[in-house]
A and B are shown apart, each in its own frame.
Chain A
């Protein structure tokens, strides 16, 4: 079955390290994906108003592209893209009235009925590779590294598109187990990081993000791993500001889970691109001896 990869805007610009580490890891694991041809913005947030169908058209068009290009599955990395595409996919599958309106509106496109499956990268790795096979491909187990797996909101909620049941954080844990890292207890795993609210706040004032960082620190984490570029910005790149305003007491460097995956698979440092993370990430990984050549 053909798997189409949907990158979304941020992975081509601010979060190149999420994309390059993820794609290099897929290649190393022998999974063939093809980037969607002519993809467009997913809309970033799912429209919650019942009469607002026009904002469903952007994400629906991506689903049409995937069908047109013969895909059985679309894989996404960014949590916000995942949530938006998965929710619109459900709408196109289950709400016949709205689906018909959207299909009629896009009369230049083929009709779409929710045929393609939208999956997140973590689910894809579990289904297409499996944790045991992943473990066998690891060339550099990340021993001694304590990670807080941060799911944020959009991988878990609402339940109908959650990558696993509410309150269960096993997918990332199983992946980290397979690559030799330890996951620490983490109360803030699905607590909101403040999301787009930061756009109207002064830097360092994001109390929601501070709660998450403090919770990761309390669990004894060396690092926090996420799959969302917005979470990475709020939780990672903003830590100096959170610290300066006294909202966090210690720092927990934050990176993408795919960067740790690529490191464990022994891939070239060019693909995980730590220069795009907060400098604390590299310092921590060097101290933990995770960056030495395989």
Chain B
């Protein structure tokens, strides 16, 4: 993959920020794509997990704005347990979500969920969903 880089786009602080939030060093990713092949949601993602890791490790967070990949991640840890570099990728995805959520931005709007659906949904779905997708 060609990765166009230029000074204003690259943010070295973002690599450090991801490390601070997730505890993971994204720079050790060797781009093998095991995460993508393990991911049950990759079919529905704008960028596969491998590409998300690639942009993250080069500090190109701008390229990850407004994509659905880390919102589609269900924290199932399939990637985490398989990563040959030992990166807890689920934690990296969480860090990417938090970078948005901590600006008081919701990914979903709870008040727009239809009442009849709320009646059906099990409690753990709502607790988990609101924790992961709202600020």
Contacts and interface: CB of A to CB of B under 8 A. Distances in A.
Contacts of B126: 196, 199
A153 interface: yes
B7 interface: no
A49 B22 CA distance: 5
B16 interface: no
A208 B78 CA distance: 13
B121 A191 contact: no
Contacts of B10: none
Contact of B124 (A9, A197, A208, A211): A9
A43 B121 contact: no
Interface stretch (B27-35, B49-57, B59-67, B127-135): B127-135
B41 A208 contact: yes
A10 B123 contact: yes
A157 B78 contact: yes
A115 B133 CA distance: 33
Interface string A174-194: 000000000000000001101
A113 to B, nearest CB: 22
A208 B40 contact: yes
A50 B81 contact: no
Interface residues of B, number: 38
Contacts of B44: 207
B5 interface: no
A199 B113 contact: yes
A287 interface: no
Interface residues of A, number: 41
A258 to B, nearest CB: 16
A60 B77 CA distance: 22
Contacts of B113: 199
Interface in A26-84: 41, 43-45, 48-52, 55, 78, 80-81
B122 A208 contact: no
A10 B21 contact: no
A13 B76 CA distance: 25
Query: Chain A CB within 10 Å — which of B80, B98, B127 has the most?
Result: B127
A78 B124 contact: yes
A158 B77 contact: yes
A73 B75 CA distance: 27
- Residue of B72, B125, B129, B132 most packed against chain A (CB within 10 A): B125
Given A158-B80, A196-B74, A197-B72, A229 B21 contact: no
Interface in A77-120: 78, 80-81
A197 B122 contact: no
B81 to A, nearest CB: 5
A14 interface: yes
A48 B94 contact: yes
Contacts of A153: 74-78
Given A44-B124, A50-B22, A80-B128, A207 B43 contact: yes
B39 to A, nearest CB: 9
B124 A237 contact: no
B121 A49 contact: no
A15 B121 CA distance: 11
B38 to A, nearest CB: 10
Nearest to A58: B127
A1 interface: no
Nearest to A234: B125
- Residue of A41, A159, A196, A229 most packed against chain B (CB within 10 A): A196
Given A43-B127, A45-B75, A194-B74, 15 more contacts: A8-B124, A9-B123, A9-B124, A49-B22, A49-B95, A51-B20, A51-B21, A80-B124, A153-B74, A158-B81, A166-B81, A192-B40, A195-B75, A197-B41, A230-B125
Interface of A: 8-10, 13-15, 41, 43-45, 48-52, 55, 78, 80-81, 153, 157-159, 166, 191-192, 194-200, 207-208, 211, 229-230, 232-233, 237
6 contacts: A9-B123, A13-B123, A50-B21, A196-B128, A211-B40, A230-B124
